[in-house]
Amino acid sequence: MDLVFLNLGFVYLRGVKKVQEIVAQEMFSKADLIRLLEAEGDDRQLLFEAAQAKKLEVVGKKVFFRGLVEFSNICSKDCLYCGIRKSNEKVVRYEASDDEILAACHFAWENHFGSVVLQSGELSSPVFINRVDRLVKSIKRLSNDELGITLSCGEQKPETYQRWFESGAHRYLLRIESSNADLYYKIHPNNPLHSFDKRLECLSSLKECGYQVGTGVMIGLPFQETGHLAEDLLFLKKLDVDMVGMGPYIEHEDTPLYAYRRQLASKQGRFDLALKMIAALRLLMPDINIAAATALQAIDPVGREKALKIGANVIMPNLTPCDFRKEYQLYEDKPCLDEDAELCRNCLEARIEMAGSEIGYGEWGDSKHFKGRTAQN
């Protein structure tokens, strides 16, 4: 591509938009997003400043807590990247008791977290479905209906999603990991239990039930190109999601995908790309909730604060009982494995203040996008 002219220190290329032009737009093409994701130096800073300004303008400086309770690592799935995949015989399987789960939720309520997230491996047995339903109802009772409830319990039948919604859950996170079907099947077994189409059907079912719907992708996977990530962002926009949780891919040595670790960008490179994805998403979907993923802190000690500054507005203190945390490692080097709930809360309060934000105590922190979307229906 030919150089056209020099002006004010910038080199302009025929057919290539400047980053400052792109970040001022309201609509973005795949080429625009690729340009943002490949931004370096001053262009990268322009992206981050634009995303920070957009966040403050649309969703404000509040950060909302979601107290995370990883209540079981028993999983029926065999995803090729995941440390708790069914075939990993090195994992010590556990199920927290109802009392342990409810104690963690009571801590969240007493400390005005506003919301909790119940997360587990993917199961769909009647026993599991009944248990989640019972837990949701119990959380509502113990908190006088004050705690918001997000579930992240995998693929289920529409009637199960509807049952849990009617019992009191109102947000659901089901990450797709990649919106590209070919790449999806490079990181999942290609069989009916790991169906790309089924994942899409479940996301549609969740929306029909009335949930605030969340999904997300991994950033920096083997076989992944920048164009895939740009397509992921456009997929999130087209799906019209209300919240997104996405972070850098971090390998786990007890998984099949670990064999491709030499194809990966450096962890710092994946971290930086994840920040640019968060910033680009904030510009693309200004009014959604975006989580500062814990995986960011596994690479950079202040990774979550950096994400909060440039677009994220949700953070998830880990309330899982400490005895179980080391067994819920989807990836290596997961942080905060030995912090109890009190320490985790205090740490995150300080981190959020460092990021120039404030905590929305006692608030559900519902997605503004969800409110707008449902008002139109």
Domain boundaries, the chain: 61-376
pLDDT tier at 341, thresholds 50, 70, 90? low
- Tell me the pLDDT tens digit for each residue of 209-221: 999 999 999 999 9
- pLDDT band, residue 338 (cuts 50/70/90): low
d(CA 156, CA 95): 19
- pLDDT number for residue 15: 55
**Contact call for residues 242 and 289 (beta carbons, < 8 A):** yes
- Helical axes 267-284 vs 226-239, angle rounded to 10°: 30
CATH says 61-376 is which class? Answer: alpha beta
- pLDDT greater than 90 at residue 14: no
Give the CA distances from residue 348 to residues 316, 317, 356, in Å, rounded to whole numbers and listed in that order: 9, 7, 13
> Where is average pLDDT lowest: 150-159, 290-299, 329-338?
329-338
Section 222-233 average pLDDT: 98
Per DSSP, 243 falls in state E
The one-letter code for the residue type at 167 is S
Bigger pLDDT: 322 vs 43 = 43
Helix (H, G, I), strand (E, B) or coil at 281: helix
In this prediction, residue 7 has a pLDDT band, given cuts at 50, 70 and 90, of very low
Q: How far apart are CA 94 and CA 323, in angstroms?
A: 10
Looking at the chain, list the stretches that DSSP marks H as alpha helix, in order from N- to C-terminal side: 19-22, 30-37, 41-58, 98-110, 126-142, 158-167, 181-187, 196-209, 226-239, 267-284, 294-299, 303-309, 322-325, 341-354, 368-376
Question: Rg for the chain (alpha carbons), in Å?
Answer: 20
Q: Could you tell me the pTM of the whole model? A: 0.93
Distance between CA 200 and CA 173 in Å, rounded? Answer: 13
Model pLDDT, residue 110: 93
